[in-house]
Structure 1
């Protein structure tokens, strides 16, 4: 069962230890992580739709998730903005991300001196209770998530 809590400006829903909240209306991008985003490559670029709001230089960047922060740099040549590999790797490893997981990155602050992104993680796993369930006679009945 989901527990709800209200913060100063958002409704935060907790489900299976993960936090979810509605977007604030600020720019965002979402992505389903592919193998290149996680082991062994650890590469993540900011989609072109956000390039117009990002400065054309490298900037300190902070990813916020579950009350923790990861500092890194976002930058690159020819307006191809990428998160630095080592810091992105730390975020991936710390949060046990894998190919198939979804992430929503919401821009909370963007200036020439700082990019701050609030992250929501949507796990791509099929819940264990669904994997273990015998389908037999229930094969015609859908599973409602």
Structure 2
């Protein structure tokens, strides 16, 4: 028997369509990931954390990644709950690199389709703040004055 996780009704604007790059989470389940080398090249592997597994379909399912006003189709594989290689297109289109972070909010979950609204947090430190930075180690954290 396949499980249907339709607890999360479809939102009218899942694409993010927001003017800002960041917005408050809606209270729906989410996971975040700081991207490492294996997430962004050459393997393009992204495994979903195990705490999210009970919320996801028990069979391979189409997944939609929504960021700003665009969407990307990927497959969510049952084994290991990971995205297929088409995750690479999302990475490339959004110029993701090691050190960037993504927040994946589960906004729709059906047996036939799962939709994640994605926020991207760049790992780059803003150039205009570099002059104000002091500290660079765990023992001496970065302080912006």
Provide the TM-score with structure 1 as the length reference: 0.77
Q: Relative CO higher for 1 or 2, CA cutoff 8 Å, sep ≥ 6?
A: 2
Q: Tell me which residue corresponds to 2:102.
A: 103
Q: Which has the larger radius of gyration?
A: 1
Provide the TM-score with structure 2 as the length reference: 0.77
Q: Secondary structure at the match of 2:129?
A: helix
Q: Does 1:37 align with 2:36?
A: no
Q: Tell me which residue corresponds to 1:3.
A: none
Q: Tell me which residue corresponds to 1:51.
A: 53
Q: Does 1:123 align with 2:122?
A: yes
Q: Structure 2 regions of 5+ residues with no counterpart? A: 1-11, 134-142
State the alpha-carbon separation in 2 of the partners of residues 127 and 22 from structure 1.
Answer: 22
How many residues align? The count is 122
Runs (4+) of structure 1 exceeding 2 A deviation are none
Give 1:40 deviation, angstroms. 1.3
